[in-house]
Amino acid sequence: MADNHSPPERRNPRPRSSRRAVPKSRLQPSGSSGAQAPAPPEAGGFRWTRQRREVFALLDGHRDHPTAAEIYARVRENLPDISLATVYNCLETLVGAGLVKQVNFERGPSRYCPNQREHAHLYDETSGEIHDVELKPGIDLHRIFKLPRGMRITRAEISLMGRPRA
Ligand SMILES: [Zn+2]
């Protein structure tokens, strides 16, 4: 039987389109330690232009899952001449390289997350904040979900909604 196992599709954001993209975080379902260190900026196999470096540093330094427009506003403090299109290009490159995750909730624009650890996203309905939440150690998604026969999970993108307990 031929091995049809192809490498994971490289998914790029489509930030210029107003259409919603599919969530693209790469939460690993199970089996790994969950203790991965963030990828160093030297990783990724692409050239670190000043713009990419600034966008990544900004995301990494303030992990509040900003939108591209918010990133644009912040990065202009250091790079006043950068364009919004360049910010989108930087984000697309960083997402494509696996250094940044694109996070989508039902409404609203894509947000960006540099957290390389396995995690899901919890949207606080009262504040609009998005929290990174990690799976508890030892949780195997195959034990939580009733999968169709013969299927296994290769990647998970988990979005949760919540609010503070009353
Ligand atoms: Zn995140």
| Ligand 1 centroid, distance to 131 Cα (angstroms) | 7
| Ligand 1 centroid, distance to 58 Cα (angstroms) | 14
| Ligand 1 centroid, distance to 2 Cα (angstroms) | 37
Quick one: pLDDT at residue 133? 95
| Ligand 1 centroid, distance to 27 Cα (angstroms) | 10
Q: What are phi and psi of 85, to 5 degrees?
A: -60, -40
pLDDT > 70 fraction of the chain, expressed in percent and rounded: 73
Q: Please, what's the b/e burial string for 2-27 (b: 16 or more CB within 10 A of its CB; e: otherwise)?
A: eeeeeeeeeeebebeeeeeeebbbbb
Q: Which CATH class is domain 50-162?
A: mainly alpha
| Ligand 1 centroid, distance to 4 Cα (angstroms) | 31
Domain boundaries, the chain: 50-162
| Ligand 1 centroid, distance to 150 Cα (angstroms) | 30
| Ligand 1 centroid, distance to 143 Cα (angstroms) | 24
- Secondary-structure breakdown of the chain: helix, strand, coil percentages, each rounded to the nearest 5: 20, 15, 65
Measured distance CA(151)–CA(142) in Å, rounded: 10
Q: What is the mean pLDDT of residues 13-20?
A: 43
Q: What are phi and psi of 92, to 5 degrees?
A: -60, -45
Quick one: pLDDT at residue 73? 97
Quick one: pLDDT at residue 43? 52
Quick one: pLDDT at residue 7? 45
Query: Of 65 and 35, which is predicted with more confidence?
Result: 65
Chain segment 67-89, per-residue pLDDT in tens: 999 999 999 999 999 999 999 99
| Ligand 1 centroid, distance to 133 Cα (angstroms) | 8
Chain segment 93-110, per-residue pLDDT in tens: 999 998 999 998 877 899
Q: What is the mean pLDDT of residues 120-126?
A: 93
| Ligand 1 centroid, distance to 115 Cα (angstroms) | 5
